[in-house]
Structures are given as structure tokens and as C-alpha cells.
Chains A and B, each alone.
Chain A
Amino acid sequence: MTTNTPVVKLRGITKSFGGRKANDDIWLDIYRGEILALLGENGSGKTTLMNILTGLYYPDSGTIYLNGEETVIRSPKDALDRGIGMIHQHFKLVDVFSAAENIVLGNEGKLDMEKAKSDIREICKKYGFAVDLDQKVYDMSVSQKQTVEILKVLYRGADILILDEPTAVLTPQETDRLFMILRSMRDAGKAIVIITHKMNEVEELSDRVAILRHGQFVGDMLTKDTNAQEMASLLIGRPVELNIERPDPVDPQPRLEVKDLTVTSEDGVLKLDHVSFTAYSGEILGIAGISNSGQKELLEAIAGLQPVDAGTITYLAPDGTNDELIGKDPFDIAKMGITLSFVPEDRLGMGLVANMDLSDNMMLRSYRKGRTAFLNKKDPRRLAENVVSDLSVDTPGITVPVRTLSGGNIQKVLVGREIAAAPTVLLTAYAVRGLDINSSYTIYDLINRQKRNGVAVIYVGEDLDVLLELSDRILVLCGGKVSGIIEGRNAQKRDVGLMMTKLGGGISDAT
């Protein structure tokens, strides 16, 4: 497969942002009929490199050769005209347009939707896509949106496809389908680059791996000649252990009892339907489910942020007293030791204030303390300093706005603050979304430390592999209902995946 000449050759690509080199003299070859996995930590310059190739950024120096010819790519349109298409991590789709309208967007000439649609159907047939071309994007699931994105670049005639973390938001089944499509495109002679953090996907899908570290090219190799351990060591720059710890729970006690919790959203959609479970101290309860199956509502209901239609949430304090949480405000609930470290898609939406500095963000938890009208700024400052040093947050200081930190570091600040409140129940949602391997493992470690301290942890995650490795028990949500609660230690990924899409997984009769 590697006997052919590269379709893209990047030579000495360098790009700086304000003095920091995001790409430093990078050499990379991309071949036709091959799937290349581009690996690297957050901030290692993968996305920057691909943005240069697709014309969003212009390199400070270096040359791009397309089919052996030196090429200057000035704009995304330039790239598309030369057959380079990118599927971004955050989809670039117009929500109120239909699939077909999004796909033809940017083309020239007279607008003939009927002809365009038949052309698109042709492409769908060729690679095995299933898509309703008249469906509006806002009605689509994440995986459908991704399909539209891929169709968009194929329709424009791209034969070099770049996918930025394409599986981050897909279920295992959707991931399988995507991989099938990518393979059939590879077999049709297209060059495919995927950017990913997930080692198992690299091993399963790619033919070749290229690794970047701190903006520099570390090396590339055939996937079959390497393994996850070696790749991880290369991309972090030192040997790493890739196993997530799972200590056995010590003396688990019921801490939180949820019974028949039912929640309807503002626009009348049933979000949670008679959800019941018990969370134990010293245990990690993983929550799996397709995005938007009620995870957010569940956590928010426990934290007192979400009005509840019916059901009870009982907090069994370590001293033996019981409290009903429904009807209490978030402040009271937080005072009882239940903290919510909620990381919605927009990490800075609910957890931290982007424009405030680290110590002021710490104060968001403590500003009500003290007897005078003045704020106590000393304690938050000390806390911020502790969090920075304990969790090795990479920041120029505690007085910079959190928005300037990278995703992983923002996450550490948030989790650090929540843990500092010494909770008895810790709710985390998508704690490692978008974080690289190194930061992710730091966060897993932090969560495990809390578990050892006897905290009941509820961990909502999207990476099933991690959920299966980290959780003691896994609760699977499917359309707002509990599809099942299974032991984490002997759970099978396939079963969980099925339970996510079908109540009870279709294995036993759903009750």
C-alpha cells in the first residue's frame, strides 16, 4: 500500500501563534488508499497542521506539495478546489438548513436542488450512507450531522478527507458504521486522515500512524508494526501506563437513593422516566447513554438545578440522617456535601466564569462565607495556588482569566475546586471531554482518589472503554429510562452499546 507516492507532502511547516510555535518544522506524507491516524496531545499542533492544509491558517514557513507539485493553499475554498476536505470536530453546518442545502452550500452556478439531490444520492449509494436529504440539521443526531459533513466534502469532489476526532460523540454502533464507511472510501482510493485520542481506534482503523508532540513531528509508522503502549509513550515523550486503576470499594454504604425520578423539559419532552438507583460511598457509578438520553437532567436534578415532576432523591448522610433533596436549592444541597462538577459541551458555561481569574473562580464556591460585607479573597487565592500545584495546572499564574488556559487545564481547575469542598457525593459529567491522554489520566486519578476517600462518585462519560475500566457499576440510560444497571468488572462493551440504543439491550425482556 505504501509503494505509491504520497498525494500530500508537507515539508518544514512552521506556524506560530504569538511567539508560541504550534507547528515546528513538520514533515508529513499522506498516501492514497490509506487511513492515516494523526496522534498527539492537546496543544501538540494536530489541528493547527490540518487547518494549514485546509487553508484556514497560512503557514509562516514550509511548503505543501500536492501530487508532487508545490502548492499554495490560501483559503478553505482553495483547499476544497484541490480536493482537500475537512470534517471539523465542531460541525460546520447551518442548523436551519436541510441536509441537501448544507451539502450544496458554497458551490457555484445555478441552484438546482433536484439535480443536486440525485447527485448526492449517487454518492450515498456508492459508500453506503443513509441520510434523509430534506431533514433539517437541528432535527439530526450527532451521527447524522457527521454524515452530512462527510457528504459535504465528498460532494465537492474531495479525495483527501481529514476528520478531527470523528468518534468523540458517537455510540459504538455509530462508530462501527463510520469506520465501515471510511474503509470503503479508502478502498475507493481516497486518502483519509483522522485525528483522535483513542488508541483502540487507531489500532482498529488506521494503516499508518503519525505522532506529533509539542508541535514537532515525532515519527510515523505502520499501525501493524506498533502498539498502543509504544504510541502513547511516543506522544507523551516518556513511558506511560495505560491502565486505569479500579480499586475495590471499601465498606460501601448507600449514600444517595433515587426513586422514580421523572423530569419533563421546558418544552414538554419527557427527559427522565421513573429512574431509580442507589449510589454507594467509595464507589464509582458510571452512567452510559447516547448523548441527550437524560444524563444532564439526572445530574442537575440531584444538584437542585432541575425542577422535578415526580420521584424522590434521598441523601443518606454518613451520620445516619436522611434528607430529601427535591425542593432544596443548590446552595443547601452543596452545603450537605454534594458537589456537581458539571462539564457541559461548553466547559465554561456552568462551571467556571471564563473572564475571571483562577482565584476569583475559586471564590464562586465560597463567596457566601464570612460575616462582613467584604469578600474574603485570601482563602480562594490559597486554594487556587493549591489546585495549581497539586494538579500541576499549566498556567502563567493564578491571576490570568481561565479562558486563556487550555481545555485540560480548565478542567483541572474546575475539578480541583469541586474536590476541595470535600464532598461526600461527586457528580461529574464528561470530565475528560476533549482532553488528551495525559490530562485524562490525571482526572481519572483524581476521581479514584475521591473514591478511596469514601466519596460516592457518579461519573457520566461518553467513552465506553473508559466507563468499563473505571466504574464499579454502570447505569445505562436509554431515552430517559434506566436500561439496566450492570457490574463494571465483567461488563461487555457490546452489551452496553446495545443497552444504550434499546431498553434492556434486547438481551432479556425489558421490564
Chain B
Amino acid sequence: MFDLVSFIPRAVMQGVPLLYGCVGEIYTEKSGNLNLGIPGIMYVGAIGGVTGAFLYEEHAAEMNGLLAVLIPLLSCILASLLMGLIYCFLTVTLRANQNVTGLALTTFGVGVGNFFGGSLVKLSNSDVPSIALSTTSKFFKTSLPFADKFGAIGKVFLSYGFLVYLSLAIAFFSAWLLKKTRVGLHLRSVGENPATADAVGINVIKYKYIATCAGSVIAGLGGLYYIMDYANGVWSNNGFGDRGWLAIALVIFTVWNPASAVPASLLFGGLYILNLFLPTGAHMAVKELYKMIPYVVTLAVLVIVSMKKKRENDPPASLGQSYFREDR
């Protein structure tokens, strides 16, 4: 019998980093910036949080729960914001090629993460090549005290740390913001047709900067969640895997809708760990095949989405292009 009650929480925990990354990239892409630096930004967001938490754990005699959460949170936001600013400065202000900039940022981000990660491992004089921030992680994982009382329902819906609920809130808020508000309308117009937006007095540069930086911060939170909650506060170099790339693929899967990113990232989270739920004794090869599922589904989705021609499902029309008013 398939154990749904233990499967769903695992799927949720796998899905949340994807959700953060996906929603962050949706903001970015809605402003017309294709940020392939998301994997790097999530990695930097994670190491930012880890560094903050490490310093606090080292220096604080008595750990304060609120500070133990706030310090990593703020250092994570700061680190990923910095990455977003680098991307914006290069692609919006200097109008560099977005693909190249994004890929460079991913390489750079992984390098930065590994450098700081390695340094922290050295500082902590640990025997294994990883840092364990279990105290901080405990605060991040604090769930509602009464979750246990509700049995299966409590386990499926209420057993998570606050970053999980925050990701859902951000996703639904973003959907509302993009669809129903003037800011959303303006942002979409910037990504679709910046010349039009400019002509009616929308500050294209400002929208691109703010949306891309906000997107980076949201994506960075995904990295923080992965380390502090999912991985129980254990950082090891290159431990983040290819979640950043999956998040970018999810953007297309969800046709740029943050609300559909919620079920989509849960689905992908589930597919990601499906192999762990195979009956014991399953052949190794079968396991490897199961591990392929998320990628196969991504490919299949890309095919289906591009076959179904509907203008609303197209990427923002000016995605990947830099905007220059006097360009003719």
C-alpha cells in the first residue's frame, strides 16, 4: 500500500524550493528578463543564510529564536538581492545579452557558494565536509504546536515550518498582484511591449529592476528553505542539485501563472522523490528510471505547451530582449 501520508509531506518539502524559484523567475520574466541565473541565485541565497546563521551560532551565547530566524533570513535576502542587482545592472543598464549574463551568474553563484561553504567548513573545524546548523534549523522547522493532534490531516497540512506557508502566500499574492492590480498590469506590459509601456509613461527601467530583484529575493528564499528546513541545516558544497533549472522549466509549465506554480511544484516535488517510495527490493535500474521522470515530464510539457497555440500561453513577447528607447 502506497503511504500517502508520509509521501505528501516529503513531496511538499521537495516542491517548496521549486515553488520559490519558479515564482521568482515568473516575476523576472514578466518584466521581460530571462534570468538563467536562478540556480546560482538560489545557491547564493542559501549560502547567505548559512553564513548569517553560522556567525550567529558562533557568537551568540544564548540563541534567541526570533534572531536565529531573522539573521539568516535577512542575510539570505541581502545576498540574493545583490545577485539580482548584478543581473539588472548588466542586462538592463548595460543591455548585455541576457542568456550569457544569466548563465555566467549561475556559474558565478555556484562558485561563490562553494567558496564560502568551504571556508565555513574550515572555520568550523569539522571532520566532515559540511556545516551543520541544527539549532538554527530547529527554529526554522518550528511548526504549529497543535499540528500533532490532528493525525494524518495535521501531518499533511500543518506539519511544516513557516517558510512553506510563506511560499504559498507569496505565490497566491503574486497571482493576484499580476492579474488584478495596476502594478501587475504595468509589469506585464513592460514584459510584453516595453516601447508601449514607455510611451504611456511607465518607467520601464524601474519595473525591470524591481521585478527582477524581487524575483531574485524570492528565489533566494528557496535556497534558504532547502538548507534550513529540508536539509536540517546541513550545508555541503554542491548539495543543491539541479533544482534551480527545474524551477525555470516550471515557469513554462505553469504558463507564467504563480497560482498554478503551487500544484505544479508539488507535482514535481512528488516526481522527484517517487523513486524513494518504490517497494524495497526494486531493481536499481528501475529506480534510476523513476529519477528521470521529472525531466521527461518537463520535456513532454514543453512539447504539449508549444503545440497548443494560444496567445495567452506565449512567453512575454519581449522576453530576452533589452530595451533602449531610442533604438530604431
Nearest-neighbor residue (CB-CB) of B183 within chain A: A111
Asked whether, in the complex, the Cβ of B201 is within 8 Å of the Cβ of A75, the reply is yes
Consensus secondary structure, chain A interface? loop
Q: Interface extent on A, as a size class?
A: 20 to 34
Asked whether, in the complex, the Cβ of B309 is within 8 Å of the Cβ of A106, the reply is no
Partner of A96, one of B186, B192, B195, B197: B192
- A-B interface contact total, Cβ < 8 Å: 70
Asked whether, in the complex, the Cβ of B201 is within 8 Å of the Cβ of A94, the reply is no
Partner of B182, one of A94, A95, A107: A107
Q: Does B193 contact A (CB under 8 A)?
A: yes
Residues of B within 8 A of A97 (CB): 185, 188-189, 192
Asked whether, in the complex, the Cβ of B192 is within 8 Å of the Cβ of A106, the reply is no
Q: Does A412 contact B (CB under 8 A)?
A: no
Partner of A56, one of B312, B317, B325: B325
A-B contact list, 28 entries, CB within 8 Å: A75-B201, A76-B200, A77-B201, A80-B201, A92-B193, A92-B196, A92-B200, A93-B196, A94-B188, A94-B193, A94-B196, A94-B197, A95-B193, A95-B311, A95-B317, A96-B192, A97-B188, A97-B189, A101-B185, A105-B186, A105-B197, A105-B200, A106-B200, A111-B180, A111-B185, A136-B311, A138-B311, A267-B309
Q: Using a CB–CB distance below 8 Å, which chain A residues touch chain B?
A: 56-57, 75-78, 80-81, 86, 88, 92-97, 101, 104-111, 136, 138, 152, 156, 267
Q: Interface extent on B, as a size class?
A: 20 to 34
Other A-B contacts than A76-B201, A106-B202, 8 sampled, CB-CB below 8 A, are A92-B199, A92-B200, A94-B188, A96-B192, A97-B188, A101-B185, A104-B185, A105-B200
Q: How far is the CA of A410 from the CA of B311 in the complex (A)?
A: 33
Consensus secondary structure, chain B interface? helix
Q: Using a CB–CB distance below 8 Å, which chain B residues touch chain A?
A: 180-182, 185-186, 188-189, 192-193, 195-202, 309, 311-312, 314, 317, 325-326
Nearest-neighbor residue (CB-CB) of A77 within chain B: B201
Nearest-neighbor residue (CB-CB) of B313 within chain A: A96
Q: How far is the CA of A86 from the CA of B188 in the complex (A)?
A: 22
Partner of A111, one of B182, B309, B311, B317: B182
Residues of A within 8 A of B201 (CB): 75-78, 80-81, 106
Q: How far is the CA of A342 from the CA of B223 in the complex (A)?
A: 53
Asked whether, in the complex, the Cβ of B311 is within 8 Å of the Cβ of A110, the reply is no
Nearest-neighbor residue (CB-CB) of A88 within chain B: B199
Nearest-neighbor residue (CB-CB) of B314 within chain A: A96
Nearest-neighbour CB distance to chain B for A77, whole angstroms, equals 3
Residues of B within 8 A of A104 (CB): 185
Q: Shortest 7 CB-CB distances between A and B: which pairs?
A: A77-B201, A106-B200, A92-B196, A111-B182, A94-B192, A76-B199, A92-B199
Nearest-neighbour CB distance to chain B for A323, whole angstroms, equals 37
Nearest-neighbour CB distance to chain A for B326, whole angstroms, equals 8
Nearest-neighbor residue (CB-CB) of A108 within chain B: B182
Nearest-neighbour CB distance to chain A for B175, whole angstroms, equals 15
Nearest-neighbour CB distance to chain A for B181, whole angstroms, equals 6
Partner of A109, one of B182, B188, B202, B317: B182
Residues of B within 8 A of A92 (CB): 193, 195-196, 199-200
Residues of A within 8 A of B186 (CB): 105-106
Asked whether, in the complex, the Cβ of B193 is within 8 Å of the Cβ of A93, the reply is yes
Asked whether, in the complex, the Cβ of B193 is within 8 Å of the Cβ of A80, the reply is no
Asked whether, in the complex, the Cβ of A95 is within 8 Å of the Cβ of B200, the reply is no
Asked whether, in the complex, the Cβ of A56 is within 8 Å of the Cβ of B182, the reply is no
Nearest-neighbour CB distance to chain A for B211, whole angstroms, equals 16
Q: How far is the CA of A78 from the CA of B201 in the complex (A)?
A: 8
Asked whether, in the complex, the Cβ of A96 is within 8 Å of the Cβ of B311, the reply is yes
Partner of A80, one of B180, B181, B200: B200
Nearest-neighbour CB distance to chain A for B201, whole angstroms, equals 3
Residues of A within 8 A of B200 (CB): 76-77, 80, 92, 105-106, 152, 156
Given known pairs A94-B189, A267-B309, the reply for A106 and B314 (CB within 8 Å) is: no
Nearest-neighbour CB distance to chain A for B173, whole angstroms, equals 16
Q: How far is the CA of A101 from the CA of B181 in the complex (A)?
A: 11
Residues of A within 8 A of B311 (CB): 95-96, 136, 138
Q: How far is the CA of A88 from the CA of B309 in the complex (A)?
A: 29
Nearest-neighbour CB distance to chain B for A57, whole angstroms, equals 8
